[in-house]
Structure 1
Amino acid sequence: MKVYLENKWKTKVDSNSPKEIWATELIKDRLGNVAIQKDSNGKPFILNSSSFINWSHNDDTLIYVLSEQGKVGIDIEKDDLIYNEHLYSWILHKDEIQKIKEGTTFSEIWTRKEAILKCTGEGINENMAHFSSYQKMRFTVKTIFMNNLCISICSEFDEKIEFLMDYTISSSIE
């Protein structure tokens, strides 16, 4: 599985095009102008390909993942998201609330949960508190902290992760 990280990604897009297609257009360009579409739930896929794709971004960084083996989901956030019970209690399972009390960052919990929901194709929904992102499941979730970012990747199979930063390989994670 390859994870591509584009720093300052907004400087690499055509700012005259609609904002909602910036990430898609940059990824299509980087991958050789492949045809990317989204299913009825908004989960992206590459048309006429056996590869699986997903992406996430913030203001500075675009990150996308490709797998030849199975479904994937990815999420990226700053590593210092603050948990506000009033705003976020509806998304957390009681096990995740306990993890916060024990010192796990909200960034880790949020990115894990969102990566899982992107991998399954469900997306953010009102049932998010019904499962813990730490419970045993059929997917593998890995979280990495780097460059003041928290990145979680969910995959159908336990694949080796190869990071490519602006197309320079920076590290691999088993």
Structure 2
Amino acid sequence: MYLYYRENKNQEESQGLLKEALRKHARKKGLQEFLQSEICVSKGIHGKPYIEQPCMDNLHFSISHTGIYWVCLIDGGEVGVDIENKTRNLSEARILNIARRFFSEEELNAVKKQGKETFYQIWVRKEAFIKCKGTGLSENLKSFSAIDEDGNYKKTIKGLWVQSLPLPIPVYGAYCSALKEAQIQHIENF
């Protein structure tokens, strides 16, 4: 699993950054056939992007951006990634309103007790999970929980592996993979 990130101060188009990250990844992996063709990205039924080239059937990716930060996670199996800017200032009332609307009871209770950081840690895990599944916001976010009954972050949600995203930028982040205990092998600021 490879993670590419960028401080996108110039507000480059996400599609262009994605193609740049995919080409960088293809060069790193020696995927000549991919490098010699135009990258065609389409969207699935719920909006999850995928690569159209038959030679890339086993290359999956997920992107996320917040403020000036952009990330792309690439792997051989389905993945999802989400980041949220740590400097974003949502009021406590707004956070609780969002949590009431989208979080399970145990998640809502954890946010009430522990506050903003817990809210964001739950949110990025839920987003990474639905991105990995490809369901997007068509999935009822209250139908699953990112924490267990003791308030600890789950390592798996409905059979998918979910973990914190280690990045040297000020974001909350999580990633999700269908592969058990998949680890990010390479992180690169490009």
TM-score, normalization: structure 1? 0.79
Deviation at 1:35, TM superposition (A): 2.1
One-letter code of the match for 2:165? Answer: I
* Structure 1 stretches lacking a partner, 5+ long: 14-21, 168-174
Checking the alignment, whether the CA contact within 8 Å between 2:99 and 2:111 is kept in structure 1 is no
**Which structure has more helix as a fraction of its residues?**
2
Q: 1:25 aligns with which of 16, 29, 34?
A: 16
- d(CA) in 1 for partners of 2:165 and 2:106? 20
Does structure 1 residue 57 correspond to structure 2 residue 73? no
- d(CA) in 2 for partners of 1:30 and 1:137? 29
Does structure 1 residue 134 correspond to structure 2 residue 147? yes
Deviation at 1:79, TM superposition (A): 3.0
**Which structure has more strand as a fraction of its residues?**
1
- d(CA) in 1 for partners of 2:43 and 2:166? 28
- d(CA) in 1 for partners of 2:187 and 2:50? 20
Checking the alignment, whether the CA contact within 8 Å between 1:79 and 1:108 is kept in structure 2 is no
Does structure 1 residue 93 correspond to structure 2 residue 104? yes
CA-based RMSD of the aligned residues comes to 2.2
Taking structure 1 as reference, are residues 162 and 102 closer, same or farther at Cα in structure 2, changes over 3 Å only?
farther
Pairs within 5 Å for 1:155-166: 155-157=177-179, 158-166=181-189
Percentage of matched positions with identical amino acids: 26
Deviation at 1:63, TM superposition (A): 0.4
Deviation at 1:127, TM superposition (A): 1.7
Q: Give 1 or 2 for the bigger CA radius of gyration.
A: 2
Number of aligned residue pairs: give it: 157
Secondary structure, counterpart of 1:11 in structure 2: coil
